[in-house]
Amino acid sequence: MASNSQFAVAVHILSMLAQKSDEKIKSECIAESVNTNAVVIRRLLCNLQEANLVVSQKGATGGTQLTKRAEDISLNDIYEAVSTGEVFSLHPSKPNQDCPVGKNIESVLCNLQKDIDDVIREKLVRYTLADVLESVENDVVLA
Amino acid sequence: MASNSQFAVAVHILSMLAQKSDEKIKSECIAESVNTNAVVIRRLLCNLQEANLVVSQKGATGGTQLTKRAEDISLNDIYEAVSTGEVFSLHPSKPNQDCPVGKNIESVLCNLQKDIDDVIREKLVRYTLADVLESVENDVVLA
DNA sequence: TGATTTGTATCAATAGTTGTTACAAAAGTG
DNA sequence: CACTTTTGTAACAACTATTGATACAAATCA
C-alpha cells in the first residue's frame, strides 16, 4: 500500500539523538545523515516535540535532545507521533445504502482497520529505541 | 499513513460476488453499490482474476463470479491480490553511508517493514470472505 | 550587536489515486 | 452475419499527498 516515509525518518532521527544522548544535535547534521533538507527534519522534530519525545532549543548553541532514555521510548510512541492514517483507506464515496452489501460494508471494514492498527501497535510496543540503536550499531536484525 | 482504498473496494466487490455466488455479476452493478465508475471496478477485477479469486466472462451474458467458495478465500488472499507496498516507506534518498546510523538504519527498518507486514497477514489469514459476508449481512463486527 | 538555529509559511516538483471517455475484443442473440 | 452487450485496457484529467527548497521571523547565546 502506498505510504510515506515519516515513520522511517523519525526512527532515523531518534536513533541519532539516542546515539549522542548527552549532546544537542542540529537539524542540519541529521539532514546530512538522512540525506534530505533540514526543513524536512525540523518538520518531523516538531511532531516529535508535540509527542514529548524530544526538546529543541533555538539559538546559536541550539539543537535537539531526547526527553527520556531510549529504553523508555517504544516504536509505538514514534508511530503515534507521526502516523497520519490507517493501513488501508475506505473508498472516498459512500457506498449505495440501498444495496445490502453497500449498507453495512463500511462499518465492517472500519472495524477491520482498527483491528489491523491494533496488531501493528502490539508489534511496535515490543521494540524500544534502544533496541533499534543496538541493532543499528551491531548491524543485526531487530529482535 | 497515506494509503489507497483498493483493498477495501476489493473486499466490497468480493462480498457482492459471494452473496450471489450462483450468478455472474456485471461491473456496472458492482460500481453502483460501491458508488464509483465501472472501470474502477474492472481494474480491480483484473487483479483479482490474476490472483485466481474470480473469473470474468465477456459478452452479452458476461460478468464475474468467484472461482472458489467464500469460506476458502481469506482476507490475506485479497490483500495479496491488490496490495502495492509496505505499511511505511523508507526515505527516497539513500542515507549517508559515512554516518554510523545512516549506514545501517535501512536494513533495520527494512526488516521492521517485513515484521509488520507479517503481523498484518497473520491477522488477515484468520478471516475469510464468508466471515465478512456474515458480518455484513447481520451488521455485526467481524470476529 | 551579530551569528546561529529553530519554527513555520509558501511554493514547486513529483508521484499516486481516482474518475472519465473511448474503443477493441469477445461472446451471445436474432 | 450483423447487432448488442460486456470485459479489458489505454489515455488523460483532476485531485491529493509527499518531498524538497527558499525565505524569514523569533529565540538564544557570545
Average pLDDT for residues B133-138, to the nearest whole number? 97
pLDDT tens digits, B10-46? 999 999 999 999 999 999 999 999 999 999 999 999 9
Q: Which helix (H) or strand (E) holds B63?
A: strand B63-66
Q: N- to C-terminal Cα distance for chain B?
A: 25
Confidence category of residue A89, pLDDT binned at 50, 70, 90 = very high
Q: How far is the CA of A89 from the C1' of C17 (A)?
A: 11
In this prediction, residue A1 carries a pLDDT of 41
Residue A57's H or E segment, with its range, is strand A54-57
* 3-class SS of residue B64: strand
Query: At residue B54, what are phi and psi to the nearest 5 degrees?
Result: -140, 165
Please, which residues 120-139 of chain A have a Cβ atom closer than 8 Å to chain B? 120, 122-124, 127, 132, 135-137, 139
- Matching residue, cell 500500500: A1
Q: How many CA atoms, within 13 angstroms, populate the side-chain half-sphere of residue A121? A: 11
**What does the alpha-carbon distance between residue A143 and residue B2 come to, in Å, rounded to a whole number?**
27
Kindly determine whether the C-beta of residue B85 is less than 7 Å away from any atom of nucleic acid strand D.
no
Confidence class of residue A50 from pLDDT cuts 50, 70 and 90?
Answer: very high
Chain B residues lying within 8 Å of A123, measured CB to CB: 115-116, 119
| Region at B4 (left for phi over 0; alpha for psi -120 to 50; beta for the rest) | beta
Tell me, what's the pLDDT at A2? 44
Look-up: residue for cell 531510549? A70
Q: Is A21 on the interface with B (CB under 8 A)?
A: no
Q: Which three cell numbers stand for residue B55?
A: 473469473
Task: Give the Cα separation of B113 and B80 in Å (integer).
Answer: 16
Which ranges in chain B belong to alpha helices (H)?
Answer: 6-19, 27-34, 38-50, 75-82, 100-125, 129-138
Per-residue pLDDT at A105: 98
pLDDT at B2: 41
If you write DSSP's letter for every residue of A112-138 in order, what string do you get? HHHHHHHHHHHHHHT-BHHHHHHHHHH
The pLDDT tens digits for A96-140 are 999 999 999 999 999 999 999 999 999 999 999 999 999 999 999
* Nearest to B108, CA basis, from A27, A21, A7, A37: A7
Strands B63-66 and B54-57, how do they pair?
antiparallel
Task: Report the half-sphere exposure of A10 (CA within 13 A, side-chain side).
Answer: 27
Instruction: Tell me the chain B residues in contact with residue A119 when contact means C-beta distances shorter than 8 Å.
Output: 119-120, 122-123
Q: How far apart are the first and last CA of chain A?
A: 25
Contact A5 B94 (CB under 8 A): no
What does the pLDDT look like over B97-112, one tens digit per residue?
Answer: 999 999 999 999 999 9
Q: Is B64 within 7 A of strand D by CB distance?
A: yes
* pLDDT above 80 (res B1): no
